[in-house]
């Protein structure tokens, strides 16, 4: 078996979209096998005879062929933004209820509204009204919860639902955009569609076939070698607080890990540029030298808008992994 998980996916399928979204949030890199729905590859059907995407085949041969299970697997590897709300049973119950309504009631009406020709005898208008009822209830929740479905931050429920809301809008863009009751929902959806991760998860690839090229997902990311040091710039006050608590959770200056989803790291040649962009006017800046081999959370090098790759740590930085913390000035960087 490959040491890397293999993902069978279809670009526009909302179930596959939410699985890929979770893999992005968790800092994972997988072998990516885009399929053609009319010509599904034999290895996928051997792994999962039901023939639907996504299908994730782990290195030990374990097959995960339900989208929520793929999301769960990914976020069990790393959940730096606490999408699963591990500390709140109330929030977890809310997440489960929202996803259940989406995957049963809303999906039922969405299919019969968007693909009415596939359901003869069904009233497209009736399913449109029932689906809108669900959307309006979600929109009201979002308005009451600070812009998200559960509380004031993105959760697993938000990540699991937005691809289906996107499908509804594609079916009726004018009606969706004109409905005043959906204004909070529209703003919520646009957060996903305008986020850089949307372009990453919607990248195109030719259908995979045995013997062909084996692209990775995400296509703009690479592994981070564990045999060379990594670096992070930290304010002394943040580092001192982390030294007392046992782990460091600042992503970059002024932003926490759970806000960004990863800790920004650098290779040695990138330190000077990072200092000039973000820390040149700061007092008491430390250069943390990190032993990558001691990191336990996923590491992935992601491309920034310029195309340059930076290493990112998808979890807290253990104090024991920092082998040096020295003051840094502009001249020394």
Confidence category of residue 43, pLDDT binned at 50, 70, 90: very high
Confidence category of residue 36, pLDDT binned at 50, 70, 90: very high
Residue 306 has pLDDT above 90, yes or no: no
**Is 117 among the domain residues?**
yes
Same-domain pairing of 174 and 310? no
Distance (Å, whole) CA 75 – CA 104: 23
Non-local CB neighbours of 21 within 8 Å, separated by 6+ positions: 71, 159, 163, 197, 201
Same-domain pairing of 42 and 129? no
Same-domain pairing of 213 and 172? no
**Is 294 among the domain residues?**
yes
**Is 1 among the domain residues?**
no
pTM, whole model, 2 decimals?
0.96
- CATH number for position 31: 3.40.30.10
**Is 184 among the domain residues?**
yes
- Condensed to tens digits (0 to 9), the pLDDT of residues 210-230 reads 888 889 999 999 999 999 999
Residue 330 has pLDDT above 70, yes or no: no
Distance (Å, whole) CA 52 – CA 202: 18
**Is 56 among the domain residues?**
yes
Q: How far is CA 25 from CA 75, 135, 137, 158, in A?
A: 8, 25, 27, 13
Q: How far is CA 220 from CA 115, 202, 216, 322, in A?
A: 34, 12, 8, 28
- Condensed to tens digits (0 to 9), the pLDDT of residues 72-100 reads 999 999 999 999 999 999 999 999 999 99
- Condensed to tens digits (0 to 9), the pLDDT of residues 164-200 reads 999 999 999 999 999 999 999 999 999 999 999 999 9
Same-domain pairing of 211 and 292? no
Q: Other C-beta atoms within 10 Å of 90: how many?
A: 10
Same-domain pairing of 284 and 135? no
> Across residues 305-327, what is the average pLDDT?
96
DSSP tally for the chain: helices H, then strands E: 13, 15
Same-domain pairing of 95 and 187? yes
Largest CA distance in the chain: 75
Distance (Å, whole) CA 100 – CA 31: 29
Q: How many domains does the chain have?
A: 3
Distance of CA 6 to the CA centre of its chain: 17
Same-domain pairing of 112 and 202? no
Strand partners, 7: 32, 56
The answer to whether residues 206 and 34 touch, using CB atoms and an 8 Å cutoff, is yes
Same-domain pairing of 95 and 186? yes
Supply the pLDDT for residue 2: 53
- CATH number for position 236: 3.20.170.20
The SS3 call for residue 81 is coil
Kind of pairing, strands 6-9 and 30-34? parallel
Same-domain pairing of 104 and 173? yes
- Condensed to tens digits (0 to 9), the pLDDT of residues 125-167 reads 999 999 999 999 999 999 999 999 999 999 999 999 999 999 9
Same-domain pairing of 68 and 141? no
Same-domain pairing of 76 and 202? yes
Q: By residue range, what is the domain housing residue 158?
A: 89-193
Same-domain pairing of 145 and 14? no
**Is 222 among the domain residues?**
no
**Is 333 among the domain residues?**
no
**Is 223 among the domain residues?**
no
- CATH number for position 121: 1.20.1050.10
- Condensed to tens digits (0 to 9), the pLDDT of residues 99-120 reads 999 999 999 999 999 999 999 9
């Amino acid at each position: 078996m490959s040491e890397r998980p293999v993902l069978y996916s279809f670009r526009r399928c909302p179930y596959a979209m939410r699985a890929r979204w979770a893999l992005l949030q968790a800092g994972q890199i997988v072998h990516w096998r885009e399929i053609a729905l009319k010509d599904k590859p034999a290895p996928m059907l051997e792994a999962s005879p039901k023939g639907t995407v996504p299908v994730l085949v782990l290195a030990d041969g374990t097959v995960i062929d339900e989208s929520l299970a793929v999301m769960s697997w990914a976020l069990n590897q790393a959940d730096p933004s606490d999408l699963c709300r591990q500390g709140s049973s109330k929030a977890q119950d809310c997440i489960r209820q929202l996803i259940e309504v989406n995957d049963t009631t809303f999906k039922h009406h969405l299919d019969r509204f968007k693909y009415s020709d596939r359901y003869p005898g069904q009233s497209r208008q009736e399913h449109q009204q029932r689906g809108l009822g669900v959307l309006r209830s979600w929109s009201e929740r979002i308005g009451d919860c600070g812009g998200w479905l559960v509380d004031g931050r993105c959760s697993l429920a938000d990540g699991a639902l937005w691809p289906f809301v996107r499908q509804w809008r594609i079916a009726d863009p004018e009606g969706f955009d004109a409905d005043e009751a959906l204004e909070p929902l529209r703003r919520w959806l646009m957060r996903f569609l305008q986020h850089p991760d949307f372009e990453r998860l919607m990248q195109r690839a030719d259908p995979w076939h045995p013997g062909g090229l084996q692209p990775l997902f995400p296509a703009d990311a690479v592994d981070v070698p564990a045999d060379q040091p990594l670096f992070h710039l930290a304010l002394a006050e943040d580092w001192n607080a982390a030294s007392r608590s046992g782990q460091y959770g600042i992503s970059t200056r002024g932003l926490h890990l759970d806000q960004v989803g990863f800790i920004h790291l650098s290779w040695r040649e990138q330190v000077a540029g990072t200092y000039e962009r973000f820390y040149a006017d700061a007092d008491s800046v430390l250069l943390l030298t990190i032993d990558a081999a001691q990191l336990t959370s996923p590491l992935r090098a992601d491309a920034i808008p310029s195309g340059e790759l930076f290493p990112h740590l998808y979890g807290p930085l253990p104090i024991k992994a920092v082998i040096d913390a020295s003051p840094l000035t502009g001249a020394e960087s």
